[in-house]
């Protein structure tokens, strides 16, 4: 029996209405009337969905985890359908499938696009593309809270310092996350303006960076970022989606908390410094360090931006960084560094225990008193197994659809990790517009799969295969 919490989705339809209203105002302000009607359509339809879902009476029975997963998955279908309206009804004759593909790509913060030349799109629609990423990043953060029972106890214990999971506190917690997410977006916008990036580009980049998205307001990043100091600033701003969204909050109020309070971010800082040091020492010839810094920051945060590069020998390295990803409670994707590190340390301890059976090996994270138990390790291992199965399936399907194996291999990683295809991965010129409709549906499905924590697939299968 389904008990979907559709009222949870009404909040996001309300945000779509607000973004539609802002686009209408923006279009009038700059006399951009070509696609003005499309935002009226999205405003009216999203508002009707907001009223409809908000008015639905929900049962007092607590929804099980399976119904929560289906609710989140439903949101990844319905919200992009509304977001696709301005694309479909625009003057550019975009098909429904291409419109839905573009909106899902934005909402999942992936960044694949069917537009071949951004210069041909009016500014209001470019802003709408960026807005789809922004709301998608916010939806992802809310989904983590909604599906918190899937995740590990250590993560939940950390989040309880900021968030109450009491149903009576849902509105207050939603406002807290929304305010912090919006404030960081505004901060990124201001910093980009300070460093001589025009306001329109700064706004679009702010929406993209905070959500770990991949849409650019221009055809090439070099049209916006031209100076070395701008490259460094952009690289550092990408880390907003690499670290936990509460990282800045942690720093401000650190004196009131112990170090366990943001242990994951400490590990990520060390990881990032080590990676940057390796690139600085071994791969920064011909004054290319700023470009490498951008590529590394872009990869670890699962954004995927890059300036044009000919370093084909580093493509696999950047793909590995994409696979690892960033913080648990951030808008980045990836398998998560802390999980991979914990699994690696546990495996080493298990191997050493056979050679030194009398010794005791603690499965404790450095800088903390936190020990990860066997159940958490099982979850980490299952996550990797499910990723391998998903990766193998997607690569096979893309290869069968006529895409050469190397591109299918890379595209599968980027799709599941919700990272845009750029030159640092050797896919900068990949054409999504002319793909077969079946291939587009496959990519749409796996972009969503990559966003809703791969472990949810196992739970859905368990519902059907292991019924009591």
Q: Which of the two residues, 381 and 79, has the higher pLDDT score?
A: 79
Model pLDDT, residue 66: 75
Burial class of residue 268 (count of CB atoms within 10 Å of its CB; 0-12, 13-18, 19+): buried
Residue-level pLDDT at 383: 80
* Per-residue model confidence (pLDDT) at position 35: 87
How high is the mean pLDDT of the chain? 83
Convert the pLDDT of each residue in 250-273 to its tens digit. 665 555 555 555 677 888 898 999
3-class state of residue 463 by DSSP: helix
Q: Give the pLDDT band of residue 371 (cuts 50, 70, 90).
A: low
Calculate mean pLDDT across residues 328-356. 80
Question: What does the pLDDT average to over 209-236?
Answer: 91
Q: Per-residue b/e over 419-449, b at no fewer than 16 CB within 10 Å?
A: bbbbbbbbbeebebeebeeebbebbbebbbb
Q: Is the pLDDT of residue 71 over 80?
A: yes
Predicted confidence at residue 1, as pLDDT, reads 39
358: confidence class by pLDDT, cuts 50, 70, 90: low
Helix (H, G, I), strand (E, B) or coil at 362: coil
Longest dimension (CA), the chain: 77
pLDDT > 70: percent of the chain: 78
* 189-198, 287-296, 387-396: the lowest-pLDDT one: 287-296
Give the confidence band of 465 by pLDDT, cuts at 50, 70, 90.
low
Q: Could you give the CA distance from residue 157 to residue 430 in angstroms, rounded to a whole number?
A: 42
DSSP per residue, 255-300: GGS-GGGGHHHHHHHHHHHHHHHHHHHHS--TT-HHHHHHHHHHHH
Q: With cut-offs at 50, 70 and 90, classify the pLDDT of residue 379.
A: confident
Output 351 or 319, whichever has higher pLDDT. 319
Residue 359, pLDDT > 60, answer no
pLDDT at 2 over 90: no
Q: pTM of this prediction?
A: 0.89
Nearest-angstrom CA–CA distance, 145 and 372: 21
Q: How confident is the model at residue 185 (pLDDT cuts 50, 70, 90)?
A: very high
When comparing pLDDT for 311 and 40, which is higher? 40
Dist CA 27 CA 21 (whole Å): 10
Q: Among 59-63, 117-121, 245-249, where is mean pLDDT lowest?
A: 59-63
User: How many angstroms separate the Cα of 147 from the Cα of each of 47, 70, 83?
Assistant: 26, 11, 24
Query: Residue 142 in 3-state DSSP?
Result: helix
Q: How confident is the model at residue 327 (pLDDT cuts 50, 70, 90)?
A: confident
pLDDT tens digit sequence for 99-157: 999 999 999 999 999 998 898 899 999 999 999 999 999 999 888 877 776 665 555 55
* Distances in whole angstroms, Cα of residue 72 to Cα of each of 65, 120, 134, 191: 11, 34, 17, 33
Domain edges within the chain: 7-241, 258-465
């Amino acid at each position: 029996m389904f008990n979907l919490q559709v009222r949870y989705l009404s909040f996001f339809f309300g945000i779509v209405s607000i973004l539609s209203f802002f686009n209408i105002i923006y279009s009038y302000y700059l006399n951009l009337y070509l696609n003005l009607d499309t935002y009226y359509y999205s405003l009216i339809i999203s508002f009707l969905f907001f009223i409809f879902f908000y008015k639905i009476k929900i049962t007092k029975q607590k929804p099980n985890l399976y119904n929560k997963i289906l609710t989140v998955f439903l949101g990844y279908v319905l919200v992009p359908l509304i977001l696709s309206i301005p694309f479909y009804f625009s003057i550019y004759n975009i098909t429904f499938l291409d419109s839905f593909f573009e909106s899902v790509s934005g909402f999942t913060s992936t960044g694949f696009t069917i537009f071949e030349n951004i210069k041909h799109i009016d500014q209001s629609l470019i802003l709408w593309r960026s807005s789809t990423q922004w709301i998608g990043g916010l939806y992802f953060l809310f989904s983590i809270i909604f599906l918190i029972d899937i995740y590990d106890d250590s993560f939940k214990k950390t989040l309880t310092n900021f968030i109450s999971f009491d149903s009576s506190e849902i509105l207050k917690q939603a406002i807290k996350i929304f305010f912090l997410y919006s404030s960081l977006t505004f901060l990124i916008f201001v910093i980009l303006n300070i460093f001589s990036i025009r306001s329109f580009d700064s706004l679009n980049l702010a929406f993209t960076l905070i959500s770990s998205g991949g849409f650019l307001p221009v055809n090439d990043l070099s049209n916006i970022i031209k100076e070395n100091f701008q490259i460094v600033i952009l690289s550092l701003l990408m880390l907003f989606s690499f670290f936990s969204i509460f990282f800045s909050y942690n720093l401000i109020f650190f004196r009131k908390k112990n170090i366990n309070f943001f242990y994951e971010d400490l590990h990520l800082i060390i990881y990032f410094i080590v990676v940057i040091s390796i690139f600085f020492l071994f791969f920064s010839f011909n004054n290319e360090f700023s470009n490498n810094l951008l590529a590394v920051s872009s990869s670890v945060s699962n954004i995927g931006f890059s300036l044009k590069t000919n370093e084909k020998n580093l493509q696999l390295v950047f793909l590995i960084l994409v696979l690892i990803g960033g913080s648990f409670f951030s808008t980045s994707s990836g398998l998560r560094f802390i999980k991979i590190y914990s699994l690696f340390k546990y495996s080493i301890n298990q191997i050493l225990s056979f050679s030194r059976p009398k010794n005791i090996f603690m499965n404790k994270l450095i800088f903390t008193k936190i020990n990860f138990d066997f159940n958490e390790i099982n979850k980490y291992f299952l996550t990797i197994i499910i990723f391998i199965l998903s990766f193998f399936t997607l690569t096979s399907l893309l290869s069968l659809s006529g895409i050469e194996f190397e591109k299918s291999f890379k595209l599968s990683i980027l799709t599941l990790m919700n990272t845009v295809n750029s030159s640092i991965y050797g896919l900068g010129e990949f054409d999504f517009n002319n793909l077969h409709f079946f291939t587009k549906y496959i990519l749409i499905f796996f972009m969503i799969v990559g966003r809703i924590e791969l472990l949810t697939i196992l739970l859905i299968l368990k519902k059907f295969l292991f019924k009591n």
